[in-house]
């Protein structure tokens, strides 16, 4: 996934409210979390000091091209980014070189991630969680989050609901034309398995001015908040709050994207 599509990902995601999300995430970290900006582990510090500084690390899980990761780094958080697509991470690294940030990027599958320490905050937004296509995959990821969260640390994530796939985008076609690219985005929704298939056909302008054609297929699964709550509980994480992304109120049956904050309560 996200091979050649990575080249035009940022162009097609210009309407994603990264700034709004980053402010929300930062406020939640201040309110509920233990991570603090402008605090980094010193390589020559004592073991106790380095361990304590782990709580200030913020992990962006499924970071993609690093747009949100860079914004949070700009808020002076000590950032780590993990993504399974080398092509997406290449673009993230280009942004890092341009900004001069000290983000650590790792190419890993979120179901098999390995970190060198615990972290105080883990975030996972912009549908990344919906790429896990079964409850067992989701529970496995939640357990890894629990394992790598510093005691008292928080997990901030979003997910697309069944309602969004079933009633809003399922079986629809989206097409856009830009100066550097164009795409056709076809959705096919399976109501039995709650799976949405994205068939992407896109055209990218080459150096010679011609457009090259590519195709990719992606799958996402819709979830309900109570399913998420149950799986989090099984993994040892407790929900602190959940809101509808659009209304910023409690989610209801017509919520399309839900944001959740959960805590590792183990001390």
Rounded distance between C-alpha atoms, residue 129 and residue 222, angstroms: 10
Phi and psi for 43 in degrees, rounded to 5?
Answer: -60, -30
Q: Is the predicted pLDDT of residue 81 greater than 80, yes or no?
A: yes
Three-state SS for 225?
helix
- What is the per-residue pLDDT for 207? 86
Q: Is the predicted pLDDT of residue 42 greater than 90, yes or no?
A: no
Mean pLDDT of 68-72: 98
In eight-state DSSP terms, residue 32 is H
* Residue 225, both tokens: 């908040």
Q: Is the predicted pLDDT of residue 38 greater than 90, yes or no?
A: no
- What is the per-residue pLDDT for 2? 66
User: Which of 31-45, 70-84, 172-186 comes out lowest in average pLDDT?
Assistant: 31-45
Over pLDDT 90: what percentage of the chain? 81
Pairing type for strands 78-83 and 104-107 reads parallel
What are the structural domains, with CATH classification, of the chain? 4-160+223-264 (3.40.50.150), 164-221 (2.20.25.110)
Condensed to tens digits (0 to 9), the pLDDT of residues 154-167 reads: 999 999 999 999 99
Condensed to tens digits (0 to 9), the pLDDT of residues 131-143 reads: 999 999 999 999 9
Q: What is the pTM of this model?
A: 0.93
* Residue 8, both tokens: 């035009």
Region label for 248, one of left (φ > 0), alpha (ψ between -120 and 50) or beta (otherwise): left
Nearest 5°: CA angle at 246, between 184 and 187?
A: 25
């Amino acid at each position: 996934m996200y091979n050649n599509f990575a080249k035009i990902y940022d162009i097609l995601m210009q309407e994603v409210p990264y700034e709004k999300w980053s402010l929300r995430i930062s406020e939640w970290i201040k309110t509920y979390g233990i991570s603090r900006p402008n605090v980094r582990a010193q390589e020559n510090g004592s073991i106790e000091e380095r361990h304590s500084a782990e709580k200030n690390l913020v992990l962006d899980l499924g970071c993609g091209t690093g747009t949100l990761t860079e914004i949070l780094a700009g808020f002076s958080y000590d950032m780590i980014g993990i993504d399974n697509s080398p092509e997406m991470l290449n673009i993230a690294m280009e942004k890092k070189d341009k900004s001069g940030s000290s983000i650590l990027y790792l190419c890993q599958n979120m179901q098999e991630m390995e970190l060198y320490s615990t972290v105080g905050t883990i975030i996972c937004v912009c549908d990344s969680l919906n790429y896990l296509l079964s409850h067992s995959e989701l529970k496995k990821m939640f357990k890894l989050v629990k394992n790598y969260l510093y005691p008292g640390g928080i997990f901030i994530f979003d997910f697309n609901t069944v309602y969004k796939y079933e009633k809003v985008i399922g079986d629809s076609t989206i097409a856009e034309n830009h100066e550097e690219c164009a795409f056709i985005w076809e959705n096919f929704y399976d109501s039995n398995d709650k799976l949405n298939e994205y068939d992407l056909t896109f055209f990218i302008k080459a150096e010679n001015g011609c457009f090259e054609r590519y195709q990719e297929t992606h799958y996402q699964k819709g979830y309900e908040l109570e399913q998420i709550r149950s799986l989090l509980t099984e993994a040892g994480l407790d929900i602190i709050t959940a809101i509808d992304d659009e209304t910023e109120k409690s989610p209801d049956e017509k919520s399309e994207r839900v944001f959740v904050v959960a805590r590792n309560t183990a001390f």
